[in-house]
Amino acid sequence: MNSLIFGILGAANAGASSYSGIILILLMIALMYFFMIRPQQKQRKQHQSMMDSLHPGDEVVTIGRLHGKVDSINKQDRTVTLDCEGIYLTFDMVAIARVIKQSDANHDTKTDVKAAKDDQATKEKATAAPDKDDHQDQTDKSTDNPEK
């Protein structure tokens, strides 16, 4: 068995090159992991996050290059019903290649949440402490009016 492995690897001296053959195999496995397996795992995670953020009204393209709007999503069966100009077609979720445009309802909701957080932060800053300019304006007004 060992002579077969060394013969395949082209090793002439069995004693000195036994470790180099094992190192070569391990190196090939590591390269295969970094160039094939890891990028595929990244793509799978990106696709899963895209599927998790999919909502009715989103415009999508399937792997067959069919364009349509998401009408409904069945999470249990992992299917999506697309509205393609009045024709409703059901696809597996893995058949969705990409999302072209998020629906306006989803975009507005995200925008509204962000705007509400910004408004709340602005109100907190305004009520936290008055600015020096506001304090100076109040003292100028009190000195301008001798009646007070």
Q: What are 13-49's pLDDT values in tens digits? A: 555 567 888 999 999 999 999 899 999 999 999 989 9
- Residue among 62, 99, 60, 56 at smallest CA distance from 75: 56
Angle at 95 between CA 94 and CA 97, to 5 degrees: 95
Contacts of residue 78, Cβ cutoff 8 Å, sequence gap at least 6 = 92, 93, 94
Contact yes or no for 84/62 (Cβ under 8 A): no
Contact yes or no for 44/89 (Cβ under 8 A): no
Q: Crossing angle of helices 18-32/2-9, nearest 10°?
A: 70
Contacts of residue 143, Cβ cutoff 8 Å, sequence gap at least 6 = none
Q: Tell me the sheet residues that pair with 72.
A: 81
How confident is the model over 69-122, as pLDDT tens digits? 999 999 999 999 999 999 999 999 999 999 998 776 655 544 444 555 555 555
Q: How far apart are CA 142 and CA 31, in angstroms?
A: 78
